[in-house]
């Protein structure tokens, strides 16, 4: 079969590799019907994630059809149309028992396209299949489903739930890429009073407004002053960092009210300066996290019911044989105005 293989920084190839097969009783092998590319894949290609070895098939966001299962798979069977979660779960370790699948100690967590071969391929082996795939309900297209492999549950769990968004809140979302726009949508599930999105790029600010933000600011605007003005001087109840650079984190902390919460979602490569001399007295809570995907079934139900518009995050479509073009386009989000790309079986 064909797969997108990583060969070290800057080197990738869509090429023939051996077909995957069931190695463990709880494995499933899934024919991939479509996948997408994550910003993390770009990080890997820049060499930022050294655990990823040359020869690894990339990708952790896909939909497909189960072709084979091991004898230990109980709920998944051949023929099922499934969403493959970016997180696998052994289901037995301390963290899996708490629903904290992202921190799985038993061989799960984020492994696909990272520690084992991933989903940017014509087929893939999925460990712990029962706990790691979700049967897709009717009425959700492959394209829409792709948004629930990583983007939507990450935005919801690590951003909105960790941030504790409540009805009536003022929510600042720093970064209006796919994750930030997912946070705009899923923060809306809790009926905040207002959502203020912040992004450097005009097209992303426009997207934030289209997805339900009440205001969209550039970081060059005086964001802190604006937030204070629209909150009676107090600051935001919740800030969600969806970029992954120090300046975005610092802004998230700067806009928060006493007693408020900062939820970091961004993938950071560098430290920042934490101003404890100001923060110690301000009753602030800061959270970090990797997605657990425990809310994925619920989010899929809301999508099916028409209460989410995740499919609108897909701005560009490619065939499997165009995966290289898909990568090139996705790697230039400002030029292409791409949010998410869908790479679909031809």
* Residue ranges binding a copy of itself (CB under 8 A): 25-26, 71-72, 74-75, 90-92, 94-95, 97-100, 102-103, 106, 130-131, 167-168, 188-191, 193-194, 244, 246, 249, 258-259, 264, 266-277, 279-290, 294-295, 297-299, 301-302, 305, 307
Q: Toward a copy of itself, which CB reaches closer, 264 or 315?
A: 264
Phi-psi region of 324 (alpha: psi -120 to 50; beta: other; left: phi over 0): alpha
Least Cβ distance, residue 68 to a copy of itself (angstroms)? 16
Q: Toward a copy of itself, which CB reaches closer, 128 or 320?
A: 128
Q: Toward a copy of itself, which CB reaches closer, 55 or 168?
A: 168
Structure-token match 């969403």, residue found: 83
Least Cβ distance, residue 298 to a copy of itself (angstroms)? 4
Least Cβ distance, residue 188 to a copy of itself (angstroms)? 8
As a whole number of angstroms, the distance between CA 175 and CA 180 comes to: 5
3-state secondary structure of 223: helix
> Cα 258 to chain center, whole Å?
29
Q: Toward a copy of itself, which CB reaches closer, 141 or 194?
A: 194
Query: Quick count: other Cβ atoms within 10 Å of Cβ 46?
Result: 12
Least Cβ distance, residue 264 to a copy of itself (angstroms)? 6
Q: Toward a copy of itself, which CB reaches closer, 148 or 327?
A: 148
Least Cβ distance, residue 139 to a copy of itself (angstroms)? 14
226-232 own/partner pairs: CB under 8 Å, 24+ apart: 226/196, 227/170, 227/172, 227/196, 227/255, 230/170, 230/194, 230/196, 231/170, 231/257
3-state secondary structure of 227: helix
Q: Toward a copy of itself, which CB reaches closer, 35 or 110?
A: 110
Least Cβ distance, residue 272 to a copy of itself (angstroms)? 5
Structure-token match 């970081």, residue found: 219
State the virtual CA torsion across 189, 343, 42, 27 in degrees, nearest 10. Answer: 80
């Amino acid at each position: 079969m064909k797969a997108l293989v990583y060969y070290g920084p800057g080197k990738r190839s869509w090429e023939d590799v051996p077909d995957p097969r069931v190695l463990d009783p709880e494995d499933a092998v899934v024919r991939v019907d479509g996948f997408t590319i994550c910003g993390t894949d770009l990080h890997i290609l820049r060499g930022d994630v050294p655990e990823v070895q040359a020869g690894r098939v990339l990708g952790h966001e896909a939909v497909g059809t189960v072709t084979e299962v091991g004898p230990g798979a109980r709920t998944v069977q051949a023929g099922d149309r499934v969403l493959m979660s970016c997180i696998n779960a052994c289901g037995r370790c301390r963290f899996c028992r708490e629903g904290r699948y992202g921190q799985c100690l038993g061989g799960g967590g984020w492994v696909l396209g990272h520690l084992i071969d991933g989903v940017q391929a014509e087929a893939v082996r999925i460990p712990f299949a029962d706990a790691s795939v979700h049967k897709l309900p009717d009425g959700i297209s492959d394209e829409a489903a792709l948004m629930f492999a990583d983007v939507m549950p990450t935005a919801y769990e690590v951003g909105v739930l960790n941030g504790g968004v409540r009805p009536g809140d003022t929510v600042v979302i720093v970064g209006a890429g796919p994750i930030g726009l997912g946070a705009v949508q899923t923060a809306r599930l809790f009926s905040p009073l207002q959502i203020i999105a912040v992004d450097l790029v005009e097209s992303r600010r426009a997207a934030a407004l289209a997805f339900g933000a009440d205001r969209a600011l550039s970081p060059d605007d005086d964001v802190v002053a604006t937030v204070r003005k629209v909150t009676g001087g107090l600051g935001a109840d919740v800030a969600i960092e969806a970029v992954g650079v120090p300046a975005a984190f610092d802004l998230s902390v700067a806009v928060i009210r006493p007693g408020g919460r900062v939820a970091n979602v961004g993938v950071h490569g560098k430290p920042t300066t934490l101003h404890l001399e100001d923060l110690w007295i301000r009753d602030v809570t800061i959270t970090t996290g990797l997605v657990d995907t425990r809310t994925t079934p619920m989010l899929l139900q809301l999508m099916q019911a028409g209460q989410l518009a995740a499919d609108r995050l897909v701005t560009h479509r490619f065939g499997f044989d165009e995966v290289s073009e898909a990568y090139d386009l996705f790697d230039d989000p400002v030029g292409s105005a791409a949010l998410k790309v869908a790479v679909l079986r031809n």
